[in-house]
A and B are shown apart, each in its own frame.
Chain A
Amino acid sequence: MKYNFILFLLFTQLLIGQNTVTNILLGGVAHIGNGEVIQNSTIIIEEGKIIQIGHSDTINLNISDAKILNVKGKHIYPSLILPNTTLGLAEIDAVRASRDEKEVGLFNSNVRSQIAYNTESTVVSTVRTNGILLAQVTPRGGVIGGTSSVMKLHGNNWQDATYLQDDGLHIYWPEEFHRGHWTHSHDFTAKDKEDDKEDHKKKKRKKTIIELHEFFESAQQYNLLANKEIDLRLEAMQSVFLGDKKLYLHANTVNGIKDAVLFATSYGIRNIVIVGGSESWRITDFILKHNIPIILGRIHSLPNHQDEDIDQPFKTPKILADAGIVFCLDYHGDMERMGSRNLPFLAGTTVNYGFSKEEALKLITLNPALILGIEERTGTLEQGKDANLFVSSGDILDVVSNNVEHLFLLGRQVPLENHQTKLYNKYLDK
């Protein structure tokens, strides 16, 4: 069934992606995404791929029938990649009917985000127009939230919008975590009750972790059964054990991260990614030792504790980078879908805290591609890769200069209109 599906995908890909026009971007500043920059670049796009990229002096423009776009002085970037998001799964927070990101139950290894992805989402349209053309659409809820897929932010249906199907399984590690929580505030008198609650939560956490162990053990045993009745939840676990699907462990506290990683490795799982990791900077040795990349939670956040450095979330990236940890940035949290168009500005913040602009750009291009396992197809402006890129009149990492003018997804130009620009234009003319 799965193979048929992939064939089908390839087929639709061919139909939609068929792109006989050759596009040439001429004269722009190409930010490759791997740290390099080509000042006066020429990029030739054919059949959805970058077939040539280099300094304009080195590229022969002997192509007839090409559509040439003069982008002299403008900036070209590879598509930004948004990991760990519910974009397309839900539309309006407060409208229950519009939400499809959270299934009930604790262990939903079998649910898959891909099939609920809404290509017509107006929210998606406003994120896309800021240069984010690919996103890891991720289910939430319970302890095992389900399986994510990397989706294109432009398409006609979830099938043609799929970029990488079922890239990984997401576990939301039960941990004690209050971001920006006011600990030991003397403003509240019911302290004893609070402590009771904490105790209760602790017990509940422990119980959940035991259940998770039982679930993983059953899943491993399931594979060995001679005559098995199909169990969809256990079935969905097998690709994780085989390493075909990554295991994304969502954890933020030191103890949560350590627990989760040791848990996963105890089942022989190698393909692990930490998601969140707000306290990961405290244990860089541990993370390096296990060779685990991190999808770092939204850095535009308050510190975890009252006493913490007030800019801790802003400077965490530098600590991780200096330690040699591979990581990228996400926008998970409150208003994560509509807010995710600010992803480039998270990278911009790291420039204020020790990164060069090109290194910062990697955190939202090459690094997420590496971590999601799509680096061979996208993530940089390199020959042979998919032509997922965009043009801005200025530096996209800074709000004041971020101004997207052209979008290309698999070589095809994507419109810059969205729900909001339509309203803008309507009332601008009023």
Chain B
Amino acid sequence: MLDSCKHIIKFFFLYFILMLPLTSYAQDNFPINGVRSTNQITYAFINADIYIDYNKIISNATLLIKNDRILKVGSNIKIPNDAKIIDLNGYKICPSFIDIYTDYGQKTNFSDIELSSWNSALNTEFNAINNFEIDLNKAESFIKNGFGIVNSLNKDGIIRGSSTLVSLSYDKPHSSVIIDQSALCLSFNKGASKTKYPSSLMGSIALIRQAYYDADWYDGQKHIYNNSLRAFNIKRDLPKIFEVSNYQSIFRANKIANEFKEKYIIKTNGDEYKRVEELKNLDIPLIVPINFDKLKINTDPYENLNISLASLKHAETAPYNFSILVNHGIDVALTLDGLDSFSDFYKNLKTIISTGVNKNEILKSLTYNPANFLNVYNQTGSLEKGKKANFLIFSGDLFSNNFLIYENWINGKKFVVNNKNIQKLIGKYNFFIDGNKGNEISFFVKNNKICAQADTSKKESIDNIKLFNKQISFIKNGIFFNGTFSDSLIYGELYDSLGHWNTWQLVKFSTDNKLSPSNPDSISTHSKILYPNMAYGLQSNPIQQSILFINATVWTNEEAGIVENCDVAIQDGKILAVGEKINLNIFKSPSNVVLIDASNKHITSGIIDEHSHIAISRGVNEGTQAVTSEVRIGDVINSDDINIYRQLAGGVTIAQLLHGSANPIGGQSAIIKLRWGQSAENLKYHLAKPFIKFALGENVKQSNWGSQYRTRFPQTRMGVEQIIYDAFVRAKEYKENNQAYRKNKKLQKPRKNLELDALVEIMDGKRLVTCHSYVQSEILMLMDIANQFNFKINTFTHILEGYKVAGQLKLHGANASTFSDWWAYKYEVNDAIPYNAALLIDAGVNTAINSDDAEMGRRLNQEAAKIVKYGHVSYEEAWKSVTLNPAKMLQIDQYVGSLKENKDADIVIWSSNPLSMYSKVEKTFIDGRCYYSIEQDLEHREIIKTEKSRLLNKMIKNQK
């Protein structure tokens, strides 16, 4: 929960520096057209049940208001003699609602600001207030739904400038504004920005981080003017609203918040329930939508194959999102954002309520929380003395079926939502036309509206009910009705489809106002949330077992080589022992050891894919610039990628997720363990060193991108060399400037540059380079540059002409990670040969076989076997090319890569020789946890089958 005290202080601080009007009612300097009109009346609402706030209700209480403020509220209140008394016996009062994520009143076309940032996705200067105009139609819709205040923001771009908090009551923009700059808004989506950078999610993240650093740096500058950074710094003290498009991005945004000691209010997409356990510890206020994706279920079962279990499960669970969050103690504000139509608001609220959520929690999420998030709880969000006179007069129980708002008072001004006479209307009637008795008709309340229904066999609904005072008109069966109503009778004239006029009347026989229960959407429960919440998801993290595998053929990757009739013991996620006839007594608790007879099986360490692009969200490349060392794959790991599971089934336990090869200096890599079901952060293998991707040749010179890509430098290998060389020249200078500044603080402080920071790390040996490369010339070139700047190229990946320069690679100390037999897809791989790995191994270069492909990634054992076929490498060496050798080049071989005491228990059980086409993975363990086994896989399949048919059935019923 926000520390409200602190924020109130902060608010007053803001008030003084930004000169905000605390009350926007008085517009004293406006000339009057005509004579003065005043508002001096005190209103006394008496005999109402009043929700003072979301939690506290006083029955039979009084509310006194004057002008736009609340004078008093409570029971036993003395009513001034001159007050206008409004008796609300039978009615209730609660605070009006607040939506802090809207684009209410934002003009769609605003011109770009000159003097702006280099990147048009960074609109720090933008102030929603300057783009605000009153939209009466939209205001009316909000008001009718019970809203009094909305926060208006521009939903476009990465840094979106400030939002403005406005009242919905006024017809002049000036008088609407409560806070001119209420929050600074951000997102990861560049929106309509014309600047090419960033094209990827990781680029957006890097851009935001750099913007923060730039702003910090600018703060100390005296001689430079930068409008964008200036504006950013001014707005740094505002609350911040960060919009994300899925639950994983909440954690991404939170990481940025931690880095810059920020606190974001995060606008979510409604799927936060998927990781609520981790979310609840972060104490992040959330703005949550109440739109639920409608899944279109097809008639053709084959078309439904395209509907994933993930989307079905989401459709079922999304209504529970709110209740799950609230039950985990997360502060939530609701928003209408994303609703197709305002009329869905109460319908969806009802759906949320049917999930068993406390109605007070909903009121909280519409009043207290949004007010508190934006630090205006001292002004609104509850009904207390001195606060804004923003409240609803309603009947029925809060948010229940018969909940009906009559009036929405905003800033002491009354807006009629529903005719109070509706109460008289509710009930059941007998219908007479021209004296003849027809069907029964009932009037009732539903979704904050008066509805009617003829009690025929089809329960035919009656449309377009219009009320004015005690007059009513509606359409039924193509017949137009007009009438007058009193407590028990409605009568009038009708105009039928043949053009006849006639008389009609409805005679009330029951005042029953309960809607006959017409099978509300039967959401009684949702299926268990899986990790990830999709096909093959797990119910929980597999337990770390103590296991003794007996009598296997063990590929140790150690001196012992391939050992038959050998045992492997694992405990606490580590390998305890490898050898013949291991005694149970070496385990901590021998009685708890699981014995697995592995006769005829082969056991190996897990496969390590040195070159993978699985499990990456929204863009593998930030290819918009030639040097993008600031972007990090680690920021955008997608823990929900099914390929993680598929590759586990191929025996892969570790993968290096690389940036693509669109530019000479790409982004920073992430090394993950394929711990299926764990969050993105938990997938990371934290013992691995930082890596970065470089690339050379045709991809980076855009040779095969099409004719419109002929202008970005570089277009030749000559240019590629210069780009890289120049980057390191700049990085070296940057490093020197930083060193000088550290010695002498009087010097100008160098701007922190994330791009160059990564390059400095490379030169300092703290970050290792994996370089996409093909032909010998470019391989030699890069080693040459590295030598000049005194670092080593750790890995050449692809390196299909590596065999031509094997000696030089060996000399430089580079590793090689290559394809087994790919070639001829580009001109530069014309001399690629499947003997490459064999020749490199022969020359003493540490060589790995990688996938670079989600499909091949699950058959890397077969790819390793190809170097037996092409080049006659021994079984043992071939196997190392997908296990120990990649571990060495990732510099994690002290922990993984072989079966050795104390190494991680990342092991795979194979049905036979793992290099053979006829071998299958039977079990894959990571850290001693079994993440894949044939048996578990069959269970998953059964669950997928039954769950999918159950959900399709449920959804098609709801669709009707």
Contact = CB atoms under 8 A, between A and B. Distances in A.
A307 B314 contact: no
Interface string A305-347: 1110111000000000000000000000001011101100100
Contacts of A305: 305-306, 308
A305 B305 CA distance: 7
A423 B833 contact: yes
Contact of B649 (A91, A180, A304, A311): A311
B917 A342 contact: no
16 contacts: A183-B308, A184-B311, A187-B617, A254-B302, A300-B856, A303-B646, A306-B308, A306-B535, A307-B309, A398-B916, A400-B869, A400-B915, A402-B869, A420-B823, A424-B833, A427-B806
A188 B918 CA distance: 39
Given A306-B642, A403-B869, A92 B920 contact: no
Given A183-B311, A184-B311, A349-B917, A420 B826 contact: no
Nearest to A346: B917
Interface residues on A, range: 35 or more
B753 interface: no
A424 B309 contact: no
Nearest to B638: A187
A94 B825 contact: yes
Interface string A287-302: 0000000000000111
Q: Tell me what chain A mostly uses at the interface: helix, strand, loop, or mixed.
A: loop
A398 B645 CA distance: 25
A338 B835 contact: no
Contacts of A421: 835
Contacts of A304: 305
Nearest to B315: A184
A397 B534 CA distance: 36
A12 interface: no
A236 B916 CA distance: 46
A123 B308 contact: no
Interface in B617-650: 617-618, 638, 642-643, 645-646, 649
Nearest to A123: B824
A310 to B, nearest CB: 5
A185 to B, nearest CB: 8
Interface of B: 189, 245-246, 248, 269, 271, 300, 302-303, 305-311, 314, 534-536, 617-618, 638, 642-643, 645-646, 649, 698, 703-704, 803-804, 806, 821-827, 830-831, 833-835, 839, 854-856, 859, 862, 865-866, 868-869, 871, 875, 913, 915-920, 937, 941, 944, 948
Nearest to A258: B302
Contacts of B823: 338, 420
Interface string A174-193: 00000010111011110000
B941 A300 contact: no
A399 B868 contact: yes
Nearest to A91: B824
A302 to B, nearest CB: 5
A351 B941 contact: no
A183 B298 CA distance: 15
A335 B941 CA distance: 31
A279 B306 CA distance: 13
B859 A307 contact: no
Given A188-B618, A352-B917, A427-B839, A94 B869 contact: no
Contact of A399 (B618, B830, B865): B865
B645 A424 contact: no
Contacts of B822: 335, 338-339
Nearest to B305: A305
Given A186-B311, A351-B918, A400-B869, 13 more contacts: A95-B826, A186-B310, A303-B646, A305-B306, A307-B948, A310-B646, A311-B649, A338-B825, A352-B918, A398-B916, A399-B916, A403-B869, A423-B833
Given A94-B698, A183-B306, A310-B646, A189 B245 contact: yes
B266 to A, nearest CB: 15
A428 interface: yes
Given A349-B917, A398-B916, A399-B865, A187 B308 contact: no
A399 B309 contact: no
B824 A338 contact: yes
Contacts of A302: 643, 646, 854-855
A94 B917 contact: no
B227 to A, nearest CB: 30
A101 B498 CA distance: 68
A403 B871 CA distance: 11
Given A302-B646, A400-B916, A424 B839 contact: yes
A148 interface: no
Contacts of B643: 302
Contacts of B646: 302-303, 310
B830 A92 contact: yes
Contacts of A351: 917-918
A299 to B, nearest CB: 11
Nearest to A191: B293
A92 B269 CA distance: 45
Interface in A144-191: 180, 182-184, 186-189
